[in-house]
Structure 1
Amino acid sequence: MYPFLSDADADNWHDFEVGSRREILALLRGISEKKQMIRMLPVGDTDMCVTTILHVDADNDSVLLDRPSDPEETARLMSGRPVSFETTLDNIRIIFGTEVMQLGMHDAVPALKIPLPPSLIRLQRREFYRMATPVGNPVKVIIPMPEEQGGGDAAFQLSDISCGGIAILDNRFVLGDSIGHEYGGCRIDLPEIGPIVTGLQIRNSQEMTLMNNKANRRLGCQFIDISPGAMSAVQRYITKLERERNARMAGLK
């Protein structure tokens, strides 16, 4: 029921299960109000799609979700298989599932309708699983610099990537370290996947000294205003990195 969970998390998921109806309603409404994107994955599939919560109906114990524009994606979700959902709320990972998916409408907008989950998993850990990006062929993000910072575009190497954001290395110390500072229209070229454009917000900053004694700065950045298509591309790239890592590990055995 929870394919988004790692094996380690699945072994311990009972420790993080929320069964209170009132708390479940509050969490789902918070996700809806903040328009958090939710990954949907039918059990047995590898291709996920993205949705948002349109409405939480406490009177009818149901949740209305945005319906994918692609009819094939809708057909996959309506195939009768259980579907798992993952999102975050205030940096807390939220996972739930359903075995019943119906077509519906909300304010004349096509929707998907599921029963209110009887329970969900709330993991207050690192909000996303991060994958280190290749060192030999580094992934770059192109950030448009504001005029007060010199203007033009600047390229920075990624250190890691997750569905929540990226960590970048600013060895020229040109971005500053102001927590909460935002950069719009940033472009990330994901190898074999394609380019995505997203906003970035600096969430943390760490000064480092590399093995060659050169100073560097690692900036943890959160995606902002990222489109569902771009989020899907990030997930596909993370899956690609995981497969490559697993293949390398298998080759060492």
Structure 2
Amino acid sequence: MHPHIHDAELENWHDFEIESRREITALLRGIGEKNQLIRMLLRGEADVCVTTILDVQPEHNAVILDASVDREQNQRIVGASNITFETTLDKIRILFSAEKVELCFHEGNPALRIALPATLIRLQRREYYRMNTPLSNPVRVIVPLPAELGGGSHPFPLTDISCGGIAIMDNKLLLGDTIGKNYLDCRIDLPEIGTVATSLQIRNSIDLTLLNNKSNRRLGCAFVDIARPMLAQVQRYITRLERERNARIAGLG
């Protein structure tokens, strides 16, 4: 892990290493197109300068960055080794590094060139990191219904999962849409991981009308007082879904 990110801070971040060259190229291009500022860290935090991505050239194994207006700083950058870069794209922090930086020209102006990173690390606040769950073979949560809603237990299919909660489809409108209502002793069966027991609180409700005029209700639910071992299972499942998704993306390439 990169030394300037503290372990305690990492507790709250979901980190994922990307090794697919195509995905790395696409992410870096996205950062360049949005003119996102990139912090370039020389020798840890001792020397920081800000740059942007001017061009990504996988065919030349190169990323072209804006040079500093300060000539002395450019000399320090070119003389440095193991430089770390940090930026954000859509609330996700992205980290990569380079062993060396070379001076070059881009469209007639001085610029910096690094090798296309072999790996890139994406960090996102854990509670916001959502993975869509499979539609073909849906994961279900069993919710015990209180007496006023008819009692008994009912399964609801998940549409996504994060470390903060789940989104479920309630197409028969069994749960009502009472924002803030808690449902106790819910069980989620995560394939090949195990059963997660937690209470859920309804946080938001969206009614969707499908093309065949059937109505659908999507409820966003937060985990309430979820035990750490249960949260660890959720995290393992999210990581597994992400690996499967990345394998699919790489397979399409």
| Deviation digits for residues 27-73 of structure 1 (CA, Å, limit 9, x no counterpart) | xxxxxxxxxxxxxxxxxxxxxxxxxxxxxxxxxxxxxxxxxxxxxxx
Contact 2:142-2:153 at 8 Å conserved across structures: yes
Output the amino acid matched with 1:137.
Answer: N
Distance change in 2, residues 1:211/1:245 (3 Å): farther
Alignment of 1:78-117 (within 5 A): none
Q: Partners of 1:192 and 1:126 in 2: how far apart?
A: 22
Q: Partners of 2:127 and 2:248 in 1: how far apart?
A: 26
Output the amino acid matched with 1:251.
Answer: G
Q: Partners of 2:134 and 2:167 in 1: how far apart?
A: 13
Distance change in 2, residues 1:127/1:193 (3 Å): closer
Give the Å deviation of 1:5: 4.7
Output the amino acid matched with 1:202.
Answer: I
Q: Which residue of 2 aligns with 1:155?
A: 155
Distance change in 2, residues 1:173/1:131 (3 Å): same
Output the amino acid matched with 1:198.
Answer: T
| Deviation digits for residues 115-135 of structure 1 (CA, Å, limit 9, x no counterpart) | xxxxxxxx8x89411000001
Give structure 1 regions of 4+ aligned residues with deviation exceeding 2 angstroms.
1-8, 10-14, 210-213
Residue 177 of structure 1 pairs with residue 177 of structure 2: yes
Q: Partners of 2:38 and 2:180 in 1: how far apart?
A: 32
Q: Partners of 1:140 and 1:237 in 2: how far apart?
A: 14
Output the amino acid matched with 2:161.
Answer: I
Output the amino acid matched with 1:249.
Answer: I
Equivalent position SS for 2:192: coil
Output the amino acid matched with 1:193.
Answer: I
* Unaligned segments of structure 1, at least 5 residues: 15-91, 94-122
Output the amino acid matched with 2:215.
Answer: A
Question: Which has the larger displacement, 148-157 or 211-220?
Answer: 211-220
Q: Which residue of 1 aligns with 2:43?
A: none
Output the amino acid matched with 2:234.
Answer: V
Q: Which residue of 1 aligns with 2:225?
A: 225
Q: Which residue of 2 aligns with 1:54?
A: none
Q: Partners of 2:174 and 2:160 in 1: how far apart?
A: 20
Q: Partners of 2:199 and 2:38 in 1: how far apart?
A: 33
Give the Å deviation of 1:214: 1.3
| Deviation digits for residues 187-229 of structure 1 (CA, Å, limit 9, x no counterpart) | 0000110111000000100000124331010000000011101
RMSD over aligned CA atoms reads 3.1
Equivalent position SS for 1:233: helix
Q: Which residue of 2 aligns with 1:40?
A: none
Distance change in 2, residues 1:201/1:13 (3 Å): farther
Distance change in 2, residues 1:216/1:229 (3 Å): same
Q: Which residue of 1 aligns with 2:250?
A: 250
Task: Report % sequence identity.
Answer: 59
Contact 2:127-2:162 at 8 Å conserved across structures: no
Question: Which has the larger displacement, 126-135 or 176-185?
Answer: 126-135
Alignment of 1:122-201 (within 5 A): 127-201=127-201
Question: Taking structure 1 as the reference length, what is the TM-score of the superposition?
Answer: 0.53
Distance change in 2, residues 1:230/1:12 (3 Å): farther
Question: Taking structure 2 as the reference length, what is the TM-score of the superposition?
Answer: 0.53
Q: Partners of 2:210 and 2:187 in 1: how far apart?
A: 26
Equivalent position SS for 2:128: coil
| Deviation digits for residues 45-104 of structure 1 (CA, Å, limit 9, x no counterpart) | xxxxxxxxxxxxxxxxxxxxxxxxxxxxxxxxxxxxxxxxxxxxxxx99xxxxxxxxxxx
Equivalent position SS for 2:250: helix
Q: Partners of 2:149 and 2:208 in 1: how far apart?
A: 22
Q: Which residue of 2 aligns with 1:216?
A: 216
Output the amino acid matched with 1:163.
Answer: C
Distance change in 2, residues 1:126/1:212 (3 Å): farther
Distance change in 2, residues 1:12/1:177 (3 Å): farther
